[in-house]
Amino acid sequence: IVLVFTISVVESVGLPEHASGYDPATGGIIDKIEIRGNSFFSTGKIKDQMTLKENRWFNVFKKRRFSGKKAEMDQSAIRSLYQMNGFLEPDCQIEVVEKEKGRLL
């Protein structure tokens, strides 16, 4: 399973260095969360386990920001879901893709 967070680069939010492919000096708002490699559970079931959510267009005043710590908690929750259903060592990775002014970097 790969959790892909597409982030709009807008300001610093102090992310951990170990967030794969992400510069801790920059931060941003979650545009999209993509789940890859899930064949056993639906994407909706996996997203239900997560605390991080995609930003919604109608939520103008409260932007949902990426947090490396929350991403790790989500990763752990998804691993637990798979383990409780018979998968001994599920692989769940975090990938962060930066997007600036409508373009992926």
Q: What's residue 13's pLDDT?
A: 44
Q: What's residue 27's pLDDT?
A: 53
Q: For each successive 10 residues of the chain (105 residues), what is the average pLDDT?
A: 66 46 55 88 93 76 78 93 93 82 49
Q: What's residue 41's pLDDT?
A: 93
Q: What's residue 46's pLDDT?
A: 93
* Domain that includes residue 35, residue range: 2-104
Residue 70: closest CA among 12, 23, 14? 14
Radius of gyration of the chain from its Cα atoms, rounded to whole angstroms: 14
Q: Domain total for the chain?
A: 1
Q: What's residue 98's pLDDT?
A: 76
Residue showing tokens 């559970």 = 41
Phi then psi for residue 7, to 5 deg, are -115, 135
Q: What's residue 24's pLDDT?
A: 42
